[in-house]
Chains A and B, each alone.
Chain A
Amino acid sequence: MSFVSRGFHGRRRPDVDQARVPPGQYVTDDFPVLSAGPTPHRPLDTWSFAIGGEVDDERSWTWEELRALPSEDVTVDIHCVTKWSKLDTVWRGVSVDTLLEGIETSAEYVVEYSDGGYTTNLPLADVTGGKAWVVFEYDGEPLQPEHGGPARMLVPHLYFWKSAKWVRGLRLLAADEPGFWETNGYNNYGDPWKEQRYWGD
């Protein structure tokens, strides 16, 4: 018989479909901010997004060039490793598939890197096939710096630390390269449905 906390009843939200909530998470109506350091402030005229690494030709876009690409509205649930989940969050951005269009690569991994030095790693397969975006609007408004603006990654099927804030590019790699939180005790992959929070889970 598994452990039961004497006298604990919990508080289930009747307005939430529990099937949408991964193990160990609770649904919040807030939008908490978590980060390891000060918020970078990047002026748009010096912003760029680049794709490089194991590619024949590196590519980059200025802010205007990124905004000229086809973009879409995306409504997704997001799950933070610190236990909060937020349902039906609305974003606008460019699909990573659009950014990778025409790029030839044998790379199997990617690192997202950001202003301020943050990095996070994933299999390339986890940012392709309609699974990831570079987003610049949240809830119909320009993405605020606290939440990763001017642009951040959105990779909702993994814990949200895999969606780098203040993102400046993707480096495609032949070998996996654990990023910031991955080298500070967190899981290398981060599937919320398997509760892969910490290294070794």
Chain B
Amino acid sequence: METLAFDVPAWPGHRAGQHVDVRLTAEDGYRAERSYSIASAPDDTRVELTIERLEDGEVSPYLTDELRPGDAIELRGPIGGYFVWEPSQGGPLLLVAGGSGVVPLMAMIRVRAAAGSDADTRLLFSSRSWDDVIYRDELERLQNGHLTVVHTLTRSQPPDWKGYARRVDAEMLAEVAPSQAVQPAVYVCGPTPFVEAVAAALVGLGHEPARIKTERFGATGG
């Protein structure tokens, strides 16, 4: 995972959860386009993307390996009106992230912090190992009485680990999520099997399907 910061003159601003389309053009005119969630809270003309380098990817390896400071890319956005959260919406807020799916949710956490919001927010974050946790230190710093971050490490854990050590399931969600009675706004993002399992579990726990917003990510072979 690598975070790239772009200076985008005339950037109109964005809302947390939105994405941009990146377009690359080769010398002979061949083009490739992909979407990436914006990682940063709105900040003038600066737009940050956190990119997962896919081994067999066409675009991500170019962005993480080839692009150098000073290089330009073509960028379109911000895009998306549904999977967004603004501080004015308040809480309670439940964010459930699978791996790189945390990116748009991190934008929500950052915009929440920048606005000084005390909306009750819980992030349940699934990663393979402690070393794989993106934004780890920043999340640790941002935790307080109103922002709770719960990690689950699915593949390996540090020796003194006392937290969850398995894939997110209904039991874990029952322990971590606010009760359906308080009707949290829910955002789930990650690979499709993760999102499918989490969304189904939350519906099973009584959360209204209409209050569960999902975004599905991840390697699709491109």
Query: What residues make up the interface of A, taking CB atoms closer than 8 Å to B?
Result: 2-12, 23-30, 32-40, 82-84, 116-117, 146, 180-181, 183-185, 197-198
Contact = CB atoms under 8 A, between A and B. Distances in A.
Contacts of B210: 37, 117
Contacts of A180: 82
B80 A38 contact: no
B36 to A, nearest CB: 11
Contact of B222 (A26, A37, A39): A26
24 contacts: A2-B25, A4-B26, A5-B62, A5-B73, A7-B66, A8-B24, A8-B62, A8-B66, A25-B33, A26-B222, A28-B222, A30-B221, A33-B196, A36-B213, A36-B214, A37-B210, A37-B212, A38-B203, A39-B199, A40-B209, A82-B35, A84-B222, A183-B81, A198-B79
Contacts of B88: none
Nearest to A6: B71
Given A8-B26, A10-B58, A36-B83, A116 B31 contact: no
B166 interface: no
B46 interface: no
Interface string B46-89: 00000000000010001000100001111010011111000000
Nearest to A85: B222
B212 to A, nearest CB: 5
Contacts of B58: 10-11, 26
Nearest to A185: B81
Interface of B: 21, 23-27, 29-35, 58, 62, 66, 71-74, 76, 79-83, 192, 196, 199-200, 202-203, 209-210, 212-214, 216, 220-222
Contacts of A117: 210
Contacts of B220: 28, 30, 32, 84
Contacts of B32: 8, 10-11, 24, 26
